[in-house]
Amino acid sequence: MSKVKYYYDPDTLSYRKIEPKKSRRFRNIALFFLGSFLFGFLGLILLLNTNLVNTPRELSLAREVKNYELQFELLGKKMEQIENVLANIEDRDNNIYRLYFEANPIPEEQRRAGFGGVNRYKSLEGFNNSDMIISTTKRLDIIQKQMVIQSKSLDEITKLAEEKEKLLAAIPAIQPIKNEDLTRMASGYGWRSDPFTKARKMHWGMDFTSPKGTPIYASGDGTVTRADNNASGYGKHIRIDHGYGYMSLYGHLSQYNVKARQKVKRGDLIGFVGNTGRSEAPHLHYEVWKDDERINPINFYYGSLTAEEFENMLKYATQENQSLD
Ligand SMILES: [Zn+2]
């Protein structure tokens, strides 16, 4: 309510009320409302900017963001579990599988390498939660890469395992004569005295004393390359090529059960013990070759001997006696 103002009227010698002009009164009222409105509006803007007051929509958005943050945290924990399991698989891959199949381990840096070059996370920058989103995306990218590398490694191992299976089937791994058919293991690989000259001479194979006609078995999968009497000293003999650089030779036979170029499996009957060639008594002279060198056959019986039998054989084979050649 505006103040009532008076003025002194000398004509009537009294105070008279000043009547405000109508237009002025209207202006005052308008100014009052405008002022109140501006003041209120400014106040509202200030309040909104200082986050002291939130609208219901803002409150619901804030709740949603909180929920996302929580979900990200849970995802982070799950990723950590995945990373742990993956690390365990990688460890076994490097230290057991790859080692067993003689493949080089995959270095840690190669397995965990991120993505270099252009900034692939640029589109994720500039938001309140950019750090969280970028770090999560980076972790997922690395996990994805690890999985690809691991999967490829397992493919490689599968191939190596198949090869190894073939190799294991191929290399000589059993005795060429049944253990119960042996009268004795006469002489092993090494320096022995020659049965004919009595001179000390390298004996390149192992001699198994057995009666004439005792069956002889292929010691590994392969192809018969020779079954003839044309090699000096060996008499009637058989050679089997096992692949991977391995060859086995069976000498002084009485009879063949295979022909050249015939494919054989480990354990197939290939011939019979005899006394042909440079031989003092019926026996099988057995040799194992690797890359054109004769090696000690004693290391190739793991498929057919018990530990005890092997030990006995080792005792016999290492005695420096006379070979039967
Ligand atoms: Zn011999």
Residues 258-304 pLDDT 10s: 999 999 999 999 999 999 999 999 999 999 999 999 999 988 887 77
> What separation in Å is there between the alpha carbon of 167 and the centre of ligand 1?
27
> What separation in Å is there between the alpha carbon of 325 and the centre of ligand 1?
3
CA atoms of 275 and 236, how far apart (whole Å): 9
Burial class (CB in 10 A: 0-12, 13-18, 19+), 110: exposed
> What separation in Å is there between the alpha carbon of 205 and the centre of ligand 1?
6
pTM of the model: 0.61
> What separation in Å is there between the alpha carbon of 285 and the centre of ligand 1?
4
DSSP conformation class of 226: E
> What separation in Å is there between the alpha carbon of 201 and the centre of ligand 1?
11
Q: Which residue has the higher pLDDT, 261 or 97?
A: 261
> What separation in Å is there between the alpha carbon of 314 and the centre of ligand 1?
16
Across residues 64-69, what is the average pLDDT?
A: 91
**pLDDT attached to residue 58:** 87
Look at residue 1 and tell me whether its pLDDT is greater than 60.
no
CA atoms of 185 and 41, how far apart (whole Å): 111
The mean pLDDT of the chain is: 88
**pLDDT attached to residue 117:** 65
CA atoms of 223 and 241, how far apart (whole Å): 5
- pLDDT tens, residue by residue, 27-38: 888 899 999 999
Q: Which residue has the higher pLDDT, 322 or 302?
A: 322
> What separation in Å is there between the alpha carbon of 230 and the centre of ligand 1?
17
